[in-house]
Amino acid sequence: MILPALFFYLFAGVCVASAAMVISSRNPVHSVLFLILAFVNAAGLFILLGAEFIAMILIVVYVGAVAVLFLFVIMMLDVDFAELREGFLEYLPFGLVIAAIFLLELLLVVGGWTLNPTVTKSITAAIPGDVSNTEALGLVLYTKYIHYFQLAGMVLLVAMIGAIVLTLRHRASVKRQDINVQNARTPEMAMGVRQVASGQGLQDADSAEWVK
Amino acid sequence: MMFEAAGYQLLPVLPEIVLAVGAMVLLLIGAWCGQRAAGLVTGLAICFLIGTGVIEYLLPHGRLMTFGGSFIVDEFARFLKILALLGSAATLVLSREFLEDQSRRMFEFAILVMLSTVGMMVLISAADLIMLYLGLELMSLALYVVAASNRDNVKSTEAGLKYFVLGALASGMLLYGASLIYGFTGTVSFAGIAAAAKTGSIGVVFGLVFLLAGLCFKVSVVPFHMWTPDVYEGAPTPVTAFFASAPKIAAMAVFTRVVLTAFSGVVAEWQQIVVFVAIASMALGSFGAIGQRNIKRLMAYSSIGHMGFALVGLAAGTVEGAQGVVLYLVIYTVMTFGAFTVILAMSRNGQALEQISDFAGLSRTNPLLAFFFAMLLFSLAGIPPLAGFFAKFYVFSAAIKAGLFALSVIGVITSVVGAFYYLNVIKMMYFDEQAEATDAVHIELRSVVAATALFNMLFFVYPGPLVSAATAAAKSLF
């Protein structure tokens, strides 16, 4: 019983500490690396809960794709983060006041906490040993929740169309590769054999054609 | 067939399926033929939208539920879905001329509008929180893209980005609220929430506040209205007309359904939120618009104010109130569409005109357009016997019957203040020094302006069918 608790505090502690480092570190690249650490620890917490599928998804999607994308963006954009953070201290008192109000409100809510009895039952229910997470999800995702699944697919389709609409441009001035033209090239199109009279060289027009 | 036995009939979602599959077919046509097919795709999209509306109308009457009770088709959903479909179809009609320009030609516009409309239909029919969220995202994501569709224009990209960032924030709040509600009631279905939340436990109310904050953003009411003027100004005019109509209908519909069905046990709790939001929006819509120079910004403030008026009906929380909301949505959509069509029609030497001062002397250069625009503005201001007056009449009488006197009085006062800026534009058109003549107006735009203005002028002659349809829609919620 002591071991899971120990691991819980290990993961939770590192998660919170690295989350704090994400917002306080000076170097944005370090921030992203700490973000990855936070994600990995959150995945550890999910494994402790018995939700191994979500844990793996968190690693694959967030660490493998999202965080790496962040890294790319941060390295490619020339954003002066130090400048962005300049007003941080100025706004800190105001921010702390708002945070305190939120904390107070949350405490009020927790004070009046009455959970639905069925919820606690379902949370503390033992995880069935004969069916794995992935299998359990698969059993409902394509049957009971097929409509949600299809709609989510349509949301992704819209995201894809949107990305293409907003970023794809065909510029006439840019040379593009055309495989068919490349494959159809014959030696006659690519090469020209000239008789060059000694001491005269090629004409200008000829040399221009060569360059092409 | 196994599905059908388990409460998964496909008939109630037939319109959505037709529209979604149609959008994908058109996407293939567009991808295959390139931008040459833009006109064809837009035309077919209009046909699909109208066809879907017909299918929706022909569905068997009464309440249909499917997908384990997460999708509902009742009179309310049917009425507002048809309205949203018409709004989307009219947007595409307006955009045909706009998209004819070579540099702007894009077939994806019609497809995005179609997919956004699928989202709206799902949203209107949502009967649980997951369906609500998915519909909302599908609708909004396409809207973010069309807001930025004029991508070489700085203002348009700014509008898209601003809308996206703030919209993502609103979605976050909505999800947080939804998770709280799920945590405290143990269910995501509206019927289940209504059964569990008979007394206002503080946790449920906390979730309700966040859920309503997310929805308020989509209906653009104070204090979640900040994006509206910038997005309305920056987005291309047909897109702005779209923003002001169909998505507002869908968001308002789901707002109404959530508070009236899922939270019918905690009326007092949501009523005070709705009353505050309504008062703040009506006031800001009236006072904020006075200083505006750009007609699209003015219409943005007008739309904030009008959503406030619609919420007055909702605040009543009665059948009359819901009927008022539905009627308000119909009439507001028609009025605002007409007004935006006039704005779209205003151009001089091919340059679109967006300043209010450009309307000066329009009554002499284009008397018919000026007359119709004046009628639409009178109607927006709520002057009898135009349709806009009846819209306000129904919501205020519902509020008075429910005992919300202060709210009604404030509403009427702000409505008088709001009349100032509508009348100011009319004064410009009729009494000010004439500016240069404007370009000839395209036949499609002319017919839309005429149809909307005539609807507003002649509504009082025969309001029966619309009012009874709105009553039937409102009754199906209770």
User: What pLDDT digit, counting tens, does each position of A42-60 carry?
Assistant: 999 998 888 889 999 999 9
The top-scoring range by mean pLDDT among A30-39, A134-143, B351-360 is: A30-39
B473 vs B197 pLDDT, higher one: B473
CA distances from B256 to A66, B222, B404, B466, B467 (A): 37, 17, 18, 19, 18
The torsion angle over the Cα atoms of residues B94, B100, B102 and B103, rounded to 10 degrees, is: 0
% of chain B beyond a pLDDT of 70: 98
Nearest residue of chain A to residue B6 (CA atoms): A144
Q: What is the DSSP letter of A19?
A: H
Residue B468 maps to a domain: yes
Tens digit of each residue's pLDDT (9 = 90 or more) over B238-288: 999 999 999 999 999 999 999 999 998 888 889 999 999 999 999 999 999
| B357-365 average pLDDT score | 86
Higher pLDDT, B411 or A122: B411
**What is the mean pLDDT of the segment spanning A92-119?**
78
- Is B203 in Cβ contact with A112 (below 8 Å)? yes
Interface A:B, Cβ pairs < 8 A: 81
Per-residue confidence band for B222, with pLDDT thresholds at 50, 70 and 90? confident
Residue A21 has pLDDT above 50, yes or no: yes
Cβ atoms of B254 and B215 within 8 Å: the answer is yes
* Mean pLDDT for chain A overall: 82
CB spacing of B134 vs A118 below 8 angstroms? no
| Predicted pLDDT at A211 | 47
Of B70, B141, B184, the CB nearest to A162: B141
Residue of A nearest to B21 (CA): A154
Tell me which of A13-22, B98-107, B249-258, B293-302 is least confident: B98-107
Q: Which domain holds residue B419?
A: 266-477
Chain A interface test: which of B73, B103, B108 (most A C-beta within 10 Å) = B108
Which residue from B minimizes the CA distance to A143?
A: B3
Residue of higher predicted confidence among B305 and B6: B305
Examine the pLDDT at B411 and tell me if it is beyond 90: yes
Are the C-beta atoms of residues B400 and B312 closer than 8 Å to each other?
no
Q: How many domains does chain B have?
A: 1
Top residue of A139, A141, A144, A165 to mutate, by most chain B CBs within 10 Å, is: A165
**Within-domain flag for B390:** yes
pLDDT at position B8: 79
Cβ within 8 Å of A, B 131-150: 131, 134-135, 137-138, 141-142, 144-145, 148-149
Residue-level pLDDT at A127: 65
Indicate yes or no: CB of B106 within 8 angstroms of CB of A161.
no
Instruction: Pick B196's closest partner by Cβ from A116, A148, A158.
Output: A116
Question: What value of ipTM does the predicted structure carry?
Answer: 0.91
Is the pLDDT score of A77 beyond 80? no
d(CA A114, CA A124): 16
Which pLDDT value is given to residue B103?
A: 65
Tokens 């306080």 belong to residue: A24
Does pLDDT of B21 surpass 70?
A: yes
Alpha-carbon span B138 to B414, nearest angstrom: 35
When CB atoms are compared, the residue of A109, A116, A143 closest to B186 is: A116
Whether residue B2 has pLDDT greater than 60: no
Which of B11, B65, B115 is the best residue to mutate to test the A interface, defined by the most A CB atoms within 10 Å of its own CB?
Answer: B115
Indicate yes or no: CB of B131 within 8 angstroms of CB of A155: no
Residues of chain A with C-beta less than 8 angstroms from the C-beta of B134 = 148, 151-152, 155
Choose among B49, B29, B55: nearest CA to B41. B29
Q: According to the model, what pLDDT value does residue B1 have?
A: 44
In a domain, B182, yes or no: no
Cis peptide bond N-terminal to B465, omega within 30 = no
- Whether residue A108 and residue B202 make contact (CB cut-off 8 A), yes or no, is yes
Tell whether B159 is within 8 A of chain A (Cβ).
no
Which one of B67, B137, B186 has the shortest CB-CB distance to A155?
B137
Which of B96, B97, B136, B139 has its CA nearest to residue B114?
B139
Q: Which amino acid is residue B454, in one-letter code?
A: L
| Interchain contact, B137 vs A119, CB within 8 Å | no
Residue B320 pLDDT greater than 50, yes or no = yes
B200: pLDDT confidence band, cut at 50, 70 and 90?
low
Residue A117's closest chain B neighbor by CA?
A: B186
Q: Confirm if B71 and B127 have CB atoms less than 8 A apart.
A: yes
B248 part of a folded domain: no
Task: Assess contact for B282 and B275: CB atoms under 8 A.
Answer: no
Say whether pLDDT at A113 is over 50: yes
pLDDT tens digits, B40-97: 999 999 999 999 999 999 998 888 888 888 999 999 999 999 999 999 999 998 888 7
Amino acid identity of A15? C
In angstroms and rounded to an integer, the radius of gyration of the C-alpha atoms of chain B is 21
Mean pLDDT of A10-14: 95
Contact: A161, B111; criterion CB under 8 Å: yes
Looking at beta carbons, which residues of chain A come within 8 Å of B27?
Answer: 161
- Across A70-74, B18-22, B103-107, B420-424, the highest mean pLDDT is recorded for B18-22
In a domain, B112, yes or no: no
Q: In the predicted model, what is the mean pLDDT of residues A196-205?
A: 69
Q: Is residue B157 part of a domain?
A: no
Is B175 or B442 the better-scoring residue by pLDDT? Answer: B175
Residue B338 in domain = yes
Helices (H), chain A: 2-24, 28-49, 52-57, 68-76, 81-84, 88-111, 117-124, 133-141, 146-167, 179-183, 187-190, 204-211
CA–CA separation, B469 vs B449, rounded Å?
A: 24
Closest in A144, A158, A166 to B68, CB measured = A144
Measure in Å the smallest separation between the Cα of A89 and chain B Cα atoms.
24
Please identify among residues 123-162 of chain A the ones whose CB lies closer than 8 Å to any CB of chain B: 143-144, 146-148, 151-152, 154-155, 157-159, 161-162
Report the pLDDT averaged over residues A23-51: 89
Question: Average pLDDT for residues B316-337, to the nearest whole number?
Answer: 93
Q: Answer yes or no: is pLDDT of B414 > 90.
A: yes
Q: Taking residues B336-352, what's their average pLDDT? A: 86
Model pLDDT, residue A75: 82
Banded pLDDT at A118 (limits 50, 70, 90):
low
pLDDT of A138: 86
Q: Is the pLDDT of residue B170 over 90?
A: yes
pLDDT exceeds 50 at position A212: no
Whether the predicted pLDDT of A206 surpasses 70: no
Res B318 pLDDT > 50 = yes
Residue B373 lies inside a defined structural domain of this protein:
yes
Lowest mean pLDDT among A155-159, A202-206, B100-104, B357-361: A202-206
Q: Tell me, what's the pLDDT at B259?
A: 93
Residue window 65-124, chain B: list those with CB within 8 Å of chain A: 67-68, 70-71, 106, 108, 111-112, 115-116, 118-119, 122
The rounded radius of gyration (Å) of the Cα atoms in chain A is: 30
This model's pTM is above 0.95: no
Q: How many residues does chain B have?
A: 478
CA distance A199 to chain B (A): 53
